[in-house]
Amino acid sequence: MRLVMLGLAALLSLMLLAACGGGDGDGQAGGGNAPESVLRDVIDRGVLHCGVKGSQPGFSYLEPDGTFTGFDVEFCKAIAAAVLEDADAVEYLSVASASRFELLAAQEIDVLIRTTTVTAERDAGRGVDFAPTTFYTGQSFAVHADSGIFSTADMDGITICVQSATTTEQNLDDLFAELGYSYVPLGGEDQENQDAFIAGRCDAWTGDQSNLASRISQLPNAADFRVINEIISKEPLAPGVLDYDNAWKDVITWVVYGLINAEELGVTQSNVAAWSEDPPNTAVARLLGVPFEGGEVADLGFDVDPQFIQRALRAVGNYGEIYERTVARVGIARAGTLNALYTEGGIIYAPPYR
Amino acid sequence: MATHAPQPPAGLPEPPEVPLVYQRRIRDLLIQALYVAVTALVIAYVVLQLGGREYGFGFLNQPASFDVGNQWLTNIDGTTNSRFTMYLVGVWSTIRVVVLAIALSTVFGILIGVARLSSNWLVSRLAMLFVETFRNAPLFVQIVLWYAVVLFGLPTIQNVINVGDFLFLSNRGIAIPWTVPDGGFWGGPDWMVGVWVAALFAAGGLAFWVRRRRQTAERETGKVQYPNRWALGLFAALALASFILLGMPVAIDRPIVEGTTYAEGMAIYPEFAALLLGLVVYTSAFVAEIVRGSIQALPRGQTEAASAIGLTAYQRLTTVILPQALRQIIPSVTNQYLNVSKNSSLASGVSYFDLFFVANIIQNKIGHAVEVFLLITVTYMLMSLVISLIMNYINRRVTLHSV
């Protein structure tokens, strides 16, 4: 009896050890340099986990009916269509700015499309790799329409609502150090800042100009506020993926470039079906992954089939169409800004697809 | 912990043999071995998971590049100062709110706890309503409620409520008069206020000594010597005398509204006020229950005896009931104080730059989560240890001095 009990106890502890040890091994495989690409995970899973903001009208916004809409969301859909052949095979996660990189590192999200600014520190130090910039904006300030603040020169000593742990916060600090002004920061998440600003708790609310404009445009008393006509920083917003995953990053990079090239080449959501049957030229044929006048389909070496950009275009249309459907709707015009095509005075430019 | 197993008296049958795992010694050994094994595995797991990273606290010495609001008596900007300095600013913000919350919740807790035992039906029911409301709603909800509903509900600074140029209320905070060092009518330098503070300390010491003497005399002769009145009176007289002698080195500064900010006086920002209110109200409810329970744990005879010898209700409470109840109160209330220090980390919910908020900003900017959270943990532990040390000291005094 005694021996049996002792043996049982020993067995139990061994099992515990084994269980812990097993967990250990799994963790290592996931945590180290992933030998498997996220691309494979996504295809196996059949659904894309897309990290978005979820609270910024025009970029990613959770509608009352539970669907997500916006510029960033369209790119999630484009990637899902390209990789999974289904633009709706996306699970959106509203992520906080403070935890976005951790969620990416933990592979809770496959791709981060959350109005995230590309910076050297993030690229080099935070384990993030950035796809091409999808939107160029810059930091500005929203103020109350009846305030006497028209530029940063009028801002000495004021209280400023600023999202903490963002590039915005750092730009603000740099700017005021340069101006030799003082200010009182009030840091919260985006929505909290908006509430505090509207309530009059802070004199100015700083953030990406596109964000401020789109949020103010949604307010019932939008006329009580204005965004000053001064930009204090460069904020190129780009999708982020995990470092060291070229197969996955290549696909996302070229979905973005593909949608830009499509606009330049005149491929739209309405003509993509017809042009896939009968492409007008070789450039369009290559982009859509179809043969030109009985030739071969060009295989450029992606880990997905050559028609992935065609599928993205069928799902969401080209870059310009996405812009008109989302960002333009919240009152941010495109013409004359950096986000116009390079042929129209902007800097939206994609390397050739060949 | 060695105990002698009782030997069965001779002649009785041998007790049945106990299986090994039921034997205390073996079972303890097994549990300990298991504990060590699990701990070792957890550590090994963490080390393996984090193996590839670089460690070290060097990143704390780099410039912070962010600013911290809600500072009090300090104005440290993050442009040139290091991340660690900004962290210390956060620690100072935490200490400020914790010390005030502990002091205020003690006062209100005792008042409400005693009120719950009042024979006045309305008073005791109101106290009960207070306790049951604020004890049973989550603290975070309460803090956000104070912030978003109560304090943001105040008018904007353009429509500030002005109470006799003395008190200003708006959603930019509450501005109250505050002291400023002043040359006074001798036209002396600003450091005269320091001299006065030193004089106050001396007066306090003297008052304390007089109180001791009178207490001793009271105990020995049995005659009433009013030790507290004497001590307070002496302190007030000395304070006033030195204040006038030094030429009134402190002036009261009334707040004014300048543009959209408060100038002069003291501005209590909504973020700080909401956190403090939340902590005080929540903790008071718990302290009140501890006070009530500790008083009710005393034999009823104590109250009755005190009444029988003709003490007033106030004397009964301060000389008979509370001194005895304190022995119950202090250990329980220490736990509440520790909770206050830890609950103060909810500050980030209302954008108050406490140590946790600042540390989070640092961690979000640069990573090093392991080091940052180690730093946070150690800071809170130190704070808890200091509170425990102080409370243990007070507890020892209370148990020694009561008869």
Chain B residues whose CB is inside 8 A of the A125 CB are 366-367
Report whether pLDDT(A239) > 70: yes
Would A144 be classed as within a structural domain? yes
Report whether pLDDT(A29) > 70: no
Would A336 be classed as within a structural domain? yes
Would B376 be classed as within a structural domain? no
A341: tokens are 């095509």
Residues A252 and A196 placed together within one structural domain of the fold: no
Would A21 be classed as within a structural domain? no
Burial level of A15, CB count in 10 A (0-12/13-18/19+)?
exposed
- CB contact B34 to A (< 8 Å): yes
Asked which of B225, B250, B275 is the last residue of a domain, the reply is B250
Chain B residues whose CB is inside 8 A of the A195 CB are 148, 152
Taking an 8 Å cut-off on Cβ atoms, the answer to whether B152 and A2 are in contact is no
Residues A24-44, mean pLDDT to the nearest whole number: 63
Tens-place pLDDT, residues B212-271: 999 899 888 888 888 888 999 999 999 999 888 887 778 888 888 888 888 888 889 999
Nearest Cβ partner for A24 among B45, B67, B260: B45
Segments forming the whole domain that contains residue A202: 139-233
The neighbour count for residue A124, using CB atoms within 10 Å, is 10
Query: Taking CA atoms, what residue in A is nearest to B70?
Result: A184
Would B401 be classed as within a structural domain? no
Tens-place pLDDT, residues A94-104: 998 878 888 99
Asked which of B232, B250, B268 is the last residue of a domain, the reply is B250
φ, ψ of residue A82 to 5 degrees: the values are: -65, -45
Residues A71 and A212 placed together within one structural domain of the fold: no
Asked which of B207, B222, B250 is the last residue of a domain, the reply is B250
Edge-to-edge strand order for the sheet containing A204-208?
Answer: A184-188, A159-163, A204-208, A139-144, A225-227
Would A19 be classed as within a structural domain? no
Number of domains in chain B: 2
The neighbour count for residue B266, using CB atoms within 10 Å, is 15
Taking an 8 Å cut-off on Cβ atoms, the answer to whether A13 and B30 are in contact is yes
Query: Which of A95, A201, A202 is the best mutation test for B, with the most CBs of B within 10 A?
Result: A201
Report whether pLDDT(A16) > 50: no
- CB contact B365 to A (< 8 Å): yes
Of the listed ranges A179-183, A308-312, B171-175, B395-399, the least confidently predicted one is B395-399
- The pLDDT value given to residue B294: 93
Count of alpha carbons within 13 angstroms of residue B134, beta-carbon side: 27
Number of domains in chain A: 2
Would B122 be classed as within a structural domain? no
Query: Which of A12, A149, A179, A184 is the best mutation test for B, with the most CBs of B within 10 A?
Result: A184
Chain A residues whose CB is inside 8 A of the B39 CB are none
Tens-place pLDDT, residues B14-29: 777 777 778 888 888 9
Nearest Cβ partner for A199 among B68, B171, B259: B171
Would B339 be classed as within a structural domain? no
B296: tokens are 């009710």
Residues A128 and A252 placed together within one structural domain of the fold: yes
Asked which of A233, A250, A274 is the last residue of a domain, the reply is A233
Residues A222 and A76 placed together within one structural domain of the fold: no
Asked which of A207, A233, A259 is the last residue of a domain, the reply is A233
Residues A187 and A298 placed together within one structural domain of the fold: no
> Can you tell me whether residue A4 is helix, strand or coil?
helix
- CB contact B36 to A (< 8 Å): no
Would B195 be classed as within a structural domain? yes
pLDDT band at B51 (very low <50, low <70, confident <90, very high): low
Query: Taking CA atoms, what residue in A is nearest to B270?
Result: A201
Would B29 be classed as within a structural domain? yes
Residues A171 and A209 placed together within one structural domain of the fold: yes
- The pLDDT value given to residue A31: 40
Would A5 be classed as within a structural domain? no
φ, ψ of residue A13 to 5 degrees: the values are: -70, -35
The separation between CA B286 and the C-alpha centre of its own chain, rounded to angstroms, equals 13
Angle between helices A246-265 and A71-84 (to 10 degrees): 110
What gap in Å lies between CA B156 and CA B243, rounded to an integer? 39
Asked which of A233, A251, A280 is the last residue of a domain, the reply is A233
Chain B residues whose CB is inside 8 A of the A8 CB are 21
Q: A142: which strand partners?
A: A205, A227
Whole-number Cα distances in Å, A342 to A208, A236, A237, A352 = 22, 16, 17, 13
Whole-number Cα distances in Å, A150 to A75, A140, A228 = 35, 11, 6
Residues A115 and A264 placed together within one structural domain of the fold: yes
Tokens 């193996």, residue located: B51
Residues A298 and A320 placed together within one structural domain of the fold: yes
Query: Which of A116, A147, A164, A190 is the best mutation test for B, with the most CBs of B within 10 A?
Result: A164
Residues A261 and A282 placed together within one structural domain of the fold: yes
Query: Which of B364, B372, B373 is the best mutation test for A, with the most CBs of A within 10 A?
Result: B364
Residues A86 and A123 placed together within one structural domain of the fold: yes
Structure pTM?
0.75
φ, ψ of residue A122 to 5 degrees: the values are: -65, -40
Query: Taking CA atoms, what residue in B is nearest to A190?
Result: B351
> Can you tell me whether residue A348 is helix, strand or coil?
strand
Segments forming the whole domain that contains residue B239: 187-250
Nearest Cβ partner for A173 among B49, B67, B261: B67
Residues A43 and A132 placed together within one structural domain of the fold: yes
CA distance A282 to chain B (A): 46
pLDDT band at A92 (very low <50, low <70, confident <90, very high): very high
- CB contact B280 to A (< 8 Å): no
Whole-number Cα distances in Å, B148 to A68, B270, B283 = 27, 9, 20
Chain B residues whose CB is inside 8 A of the A114 CB are none
Percent of chain A with pLDDT over 70: 90
> Can you tell me whether residue A240 is helix, strand or coil?
strand
What gap in Å lies between CA B98 and CA A144, rounded to an integer? 35
Task: Evaluate whether A216 touches A227 at the Cβ level (below 8 Å).
Answer: yes
B314: tokens are 């106030």
Taking an 8 Å cut-off on Cβ atoms, the answer to whether B37 and A16 are in contact is yes
Would A331 be classed as within a structural domain? yes
- The pLDDT value given to residue B109: 96
Taking an 8 Å cut-off on Cβ atoms, the answer to whether B41 and A125 are in contact is no
Tens-place pLDDT, residues B177-193: 988 877 667 766 777 78
Taking an 8 Å cut-off on Cβ atoms, the answer to whether B156 and A200 are in contact is yes
Longest dimension (CA), chain A: 89
Would B160 be classed as within a structural domain? no
Strands A235-237 and A135-137 turn out to be antiparallel
Residues A153 and A112 placed together within one structural domain of the fold: no
Would A284 be classed as within a structural domain? yes
Task: Evaluate whether B375 touches B369 at the Cβ level (below 8 Å).
Answer: no
Chain A residues whose CB is inside 8 A of the B37 CB are 13, 16-17
CATH code, A46: 3.40.190.10
Would A57 be classed as within a structural domain? yes
